[in-house]
Amino acid sequence: MNRPVATEDHNSLQALLTTIDLPSLLDHAWLDPLQGGSAMGEQLEAARFWGCRGFCIPSGWVRKVRPHLPTNGPTRLVAVVGFPTGAVPSAVKLAEAEWVAEAGADELDVVPDFAALADGNTEQVHGELAAIVQLGLPVKVITEAARLPGPLLEQLVEMAVDAGAQWLKTGAGHGPGVAPELVRQLVKLARGRAAVKAAGGIHGLEQALRLLEAGARRLGLSRAPALLEAARRHQTGNLR
């Protein structure tokens, strides 16, 4: 639930909204496993209509969607790899990443092996991420920052950055929704070496602006078109 906005706070959010190109900061995610081609087509058209920065989909859809998304347009095709748990053999995850790269993905949102991280198998986690980065596409490493213990989160950030990942993503959409404090934490850990994508439980315009204000450089959500419609309707300063 959005909290009441004090006047000064409200004005800062208003100012932010007028100075950013919001569509270019949004990845419209469509990861519902129960939906077929018709729904996927509708969501793709919505992402294109609004000029979203990315359209984030399961790896199995990449080859089907690629012909319908111009490579020279504003919307990039983002594929999730190892989604949702990351608990697959490294060779399988790398093969998935190679497949989506060959199929035409522009960016990869990768779930690392959290179990291996928890067991101290840092070489495995780092090697897996480095091999995927070497494919040459921008990689966002999903950190599950809201649930991962602090020391492990710090380790994962360092491994992701050392492996060459350009982005750190707050989560895959499970657990608690992303909060500005979580974004600030990742920004602090990244120390300018990687950008932060906030994802998970983003529902309203005020919430989205607060995450951007906290330092997120991209937002991932399944409601990007609705959010952009709210921004377009926004006239009186009533952030909803």
One DSSP character per residue, 93-146 reads HHHHHHHHHHHT-SEEEE---HHHHHTT-HHHHHHHHHHHHTTSS-EEEE--TT
Instruction: Specify whether the CB–CB gap between 212 and 34 falls below 8 A.
Output: no
Dist. CA 198–CA 170, nearest whole Å: 5
Catalytic member of 93, 106, 113, 169? 169
Please report the pLDDT score of residue 184 as a whole number. 99
* Structural domains for the chain: 25-231 (3.20.20.70)
Q: Read off φ and ψ for residue 51, nearest 5 degrees.
A: 70, 35
Please report the pLDDT score of residue 239 as a whole number. 52
The beta strand positions in the chain, using DSSP E, are 26-29, 54-57, 76-81, 107-110, 139-142, 167-169, 195-199, 218-221
Tokens (6 digits) for 75: 């919307």
Per the listing, tokens 């101290």 go with 120
109 part of the active site: yes
Please report the pLDDT score of residue 230 as a whole number. 93
Catalytic member of 27, 93, 113, 197? 197
Total-model pTM = 0.92
Catalytic member of 109, 119, 140, 162? 109
Please report the pLDDT score of residue 14 as a whole number. 82
Sequence-separated (6 or more) residues with CB below 8 Å from residue 58: 31, 33, 79, 80, 83
Please report the pLDDT score of residue 1 as a whole number. 44
64 part of the active site: no
169 part of the active site: yes
Give the pLDDT means over successive 10-residue stretches in the chain (240 positions): 56 86 98 96 98 98 98 96 96 99 99 98 98 99 97 99 99 89 99 98 95 98 96 66
Dist. CA 102–CA 95, nearest whole Å: 10
Instruction: Specify whether the CB–CB gap between 156 and 184 falls below 8 A.
Output: no
